[in-house]
Amino acid sequence: MPLFFFGKCPKVFNSALYAQVGPDILTSDELLLDLKSKLKLPDYFGFNWNALYDCLKDLHWVEEDAIILDHPNRLSLPSADARIYVDILNDAVAFWQREGGIELCVVFNKEDRQKILDYL
């Protein structure tokens, strides 16, 4: 099963938390702030990569069966940050595919396909 999708999530869920990453996000700080809000991350979220990694492998606060994390715009983070972010998402999706319990569907803009795959 693919870890990421490009364009749209092809799956249908009974209930899903839909989180669309906002446009014009240029820094990791902006991204983490946006994800805190859109993913309804807990108050103890630390606004750093390690905290995002930990939260994406916990998700105890999510009541829905799935999370759709949609990036409809091109990823505009600096390359080093984008690589870390994609790696965290890759690990989280693989974790939930192994463990079950919740489905994490990560979607990127079709135009970012090669860039995302190169980061892996």
pLDDT in tens, 13-52: 889 999 999 998 999 999 999 999 999 999 999 999 999 9
Nearest to 84 by CA among 119, 43, 45: 119
The structure's pTM equals: 0.93
Q: Is the pLDDT of residue 116 over 80?
A: yes
Task: Give me the count of residues in the chain.
Answer: 120
> Which residues contact residue 49 at a Cβ distance below 8 angstroms, ignoring those fewer than 6 apart?
28, 84, 85, 88
**22 vs 9: CA distance, rounded Å:** 17
Q: Where are the domains of the chain?
A: 4-119
**75 vs 59: CA distance, rounded Å:** 24
**79 vs 100: CA distance, rounded Å:** 31
Nearest to 4 by CA among 111, 99, 72, 104: 104
What are 48-88's pLDDT values in tens digits? 999 999 999 999 989 999 999 999 999 999 999 999 999 99
pLDDT band at 12 (very low <50, low <70, confident <90, very high): confident
Q: What is the DSSP letter of 110?
A: G
pLDDT band at 10 (very low <50, low <70, confident <90, very high): confident
pLDDT band at 2 (very low <50, low <70, confident <90, very high): low
Residue-level pLDDT at 1: 55
Cα dihedral sign, 35-37-26-4: positive
